[in-house]
Chain A
Amino acid sequence: MRNAWTLTKVRMRLALRNRAFIFFSLVFPLIFLFLFLGLFARSNVAAVPYMLASVLAITVMGSFWGLSIQLVTFREQGILRRFRVAPVGPGAMLASSILSNYILTLPTVAIEFALARRIFHMQGWGNLGGVFFLITLGIVTFAALGLIIASVTNSTQETQVINQILWSAFLFLSGATLPLPMLPIWLQRFALFLPATYLVTGLERVMVARVGIRQIEPEIVALAVSAAMAFFLSQQLFRWEPEAKVGPRAKVLAAATIVPFLLLGLWETAHGNLRSTARTDFLSIERSAPADRPAPLNAPR
């Protein structure tokens, strides 16, 4: 535990000295904040929490990107093998990845809240406890997914390609950029199988409808089980050596991380009400739009 904390402090320092990290973890989410809230919630204060939920989800989902690249770079450059001859285990290395990411993401979240209140006049805080809980769980889950990506890729280039594909899916198919009810029905059904969708809809529910975390239990269970599986599997698949290549069996094992979302997606498709609650939350902000201003978005039924 002490080693994990030492590594966490060092990795936080390294991240803060990295301009790319500052851009992607602070500047980039704030660009989304001003874009979303400025365009869609400027004249509709009731839409601010809904849009803020999307921005928070984007901030949280970004966890997996930098973390996977950093770990693979450390492995490629032979940095990890220097740690390997010291009494440092994979658990400490992986836990420090998640913990440093978590601590460094929280200030961005706080700034986003402060700006939403100060500049965009957001009323109230939503269910703040629920938001904090979901953000914590979301960062841990997406950071753990980053660890899995780092475990199954052999080079920085390969990691970037996989990150790009996942990031695009998370960003555009989960409701984070385009509200879920606006997507074609077949895409909405596909979105039920993405971890990002549960984070986005969970945050929308606690921010807009201010529901308690008991009412978003499926989302929480899926995120928590996935985080636990991803952390466990990334420990099993951890590679210190640049030349240690991952085999097809490990890739299959890593794919098990998405099992909770497959199960939840199937359950949601058959019995769930995620799509209808997402639609309700979305329509509630549309209804509150000023009468002189046409509703900006039309949701398909």
Chain B
Amino acid sequence: MSAPIIEVHNLTKNYGAVKALRGVSFEVQEGEVFGLLGPNGAGKTSTVEILEGLRPPDGGIVSVCGLDPQSPGSAFKQEIGAVLQSTALPDKLRVGEAISMFASFYKRRRDPAALLKRFGLEEKRNTFYSYLSGGQKQRLALAMSLVNEPRVLFLDEPTAGLDPQVRREIYTIIEELKKERKTILLTTHYIEEAEKLCDRVAIIDQGRVIAQGTPRELKQRSAGTTRIELRLARPESDAALKQLEGVADCHASDGVYVVHSTRVPQTIVSLVKYLEANGNELSSLDIAAPSLEDVFLELTGRRLRD
């Protein structure tokens, strides 16, 4: 295996008394889509901004394309592309002007017109930035991040705040980049995004990487339990459902009870008996394969969006 294109060892970052990163370590191979998955405030953006050279680390070793992101000069910036958590451009800048301007900053550059065409912005080339929709702005941000044929692409929450349809459009674009073997570091708090797009994922919580591997490997960690999602005619307490046979964990969210069971048949039988005895009824019941959400729950005792 060749040397990793991104290396992060024991990375630390403090904001005053707040310890944002407490020794984060991971490596990314060339051509890999690597995801940093975690809830808001976990340290994902701090990590990616240090890797982009936007913030200095307080400790640890960071290398991208063999370069220190804090190194002076433009060599490092020539190698990377970035979609920031929120990209802003001047309101009265036209789409075509924006991408041509950013292309002109680099030694290695792609044809801006071809990029606009690829990202479906050809007809918007004379439109002011302020007139673009959220999805169009994000597509432009992606197009701009590729103007220099970057060796590493950083995507910080690329679909945050976008509606489901636009999110799917962005997924399609990232999947195309994945097929081109582009190295991508993606941060997200969407399980679906990490499972669908990433070759490997590091789950990050409270400034620490608590697990990493392929989505399949991570989910196998939860292989000992199966997730049962159920709706009831009348509410029940989590504590009561936890007493059922084979139940490892149970929590309720938006009227849905998620029960993790080590012995599914026994759990279902004891559930039915319990409901009958208490005059309650099942409205629906789904048995699902474990997801990264379950892995996170198992590791932290919290849900990603808590």
| Residues of A in contact with B (beta carbons under 8 Å apart) | 2-3, 6-7, 10, 13-14, 17-18, 74, 77-79, 81-82, 84-89, 240-241
Which A residue's beta carbon lies closest to that of B53? A85
Closest to A89 in B: B74
Contacting residue for B101 out of A6, A77, A81, CB 8 A: A6
Tell me whether A17 and B105 are in contact in the complex, defined as CB-CB below 8 angstroms, given that A85-B80, A85-B82 are known contacts.
no
- Which of B82, B92, B105 meets A87, CB within 8 Å? B105
User: What interface size band does chain B fall in?
Assistant: 20 to 34
The smallest C-beta distance from B144 to any residue of chain A, in angstroms, reads 8
Query: Given A81-B54, A85-B53, A86-B77, are A10 and B93 also a contact pair (CB < 8 Å)?
Result: yes
Decide: A85 and B105 in contact? CB cutoff 8 A.
no
Which 3 pairs between the two chains have the least Cβ-Cβ distance? A87-B74, A17-B92, A87-B77
B105 in contact with A88 (CB, 8 Å): yes
Contact of B90 among A2, A3, A14, A86 (CB under 8 A): A14
Given A78-B86, A85-B77, A85-B84, 6 other A-B residues pairs in contact with their CB atoms under 8 A: A6-B101, A6-B105, A79-B90, A86-B102, A87-B77, A88-B105
Taking a contact as CB atoms under 8 Å apart, the answer to whether B105 and A82 are in contact is no
B305 smallest CB distance to A (angstroms): 25
Do residues B93 and A14 form an inter-chain contact, with CB atoms below 8 A?
yes
Given known A-B contacts A10-B97, A85-B53, A77 and B104 have beta carbons under 8 A apart: no
Q: Are A14 and B78 in contact, with the CB atoms below 8 A?
A: no
Contact of B88 among A17, A79, A84, A87 (CB under 8 A): A79
Chain A CB within 8 A of B220 CB: no
Smallest beta-carbon distance A44→chain B, Å: 44
B104 touches A2 (CB 8 A): yes
Given A14-B93, A85-B77, A78 contacting B88 (CB threshold 8 A):
yes
Task: Determine whether B52 belongs to the interface, using a CB cutoff of 8 Å to chain A.
Answer: yes
| Interface pair B54/A84, CB less than 8 Å apart | yes
Instruction: Kindly provide the distance from the CB of A22 to the nearest chain B CB, expressed in whole angstroms.
Output: 12
Interface string of B98-131 (1 = CB under 8 A from A): 0001101110000000000000000000000000
- How far is the CB of A76 from the nearest CB of chain B, in Å? 10
Q: A14-B92, A78-B86 are in contact. Are A85 and B52 (CB under 8 A)?
A: yes
Tell me whether A82 and B88 are in contact (CB under 8 A): yes
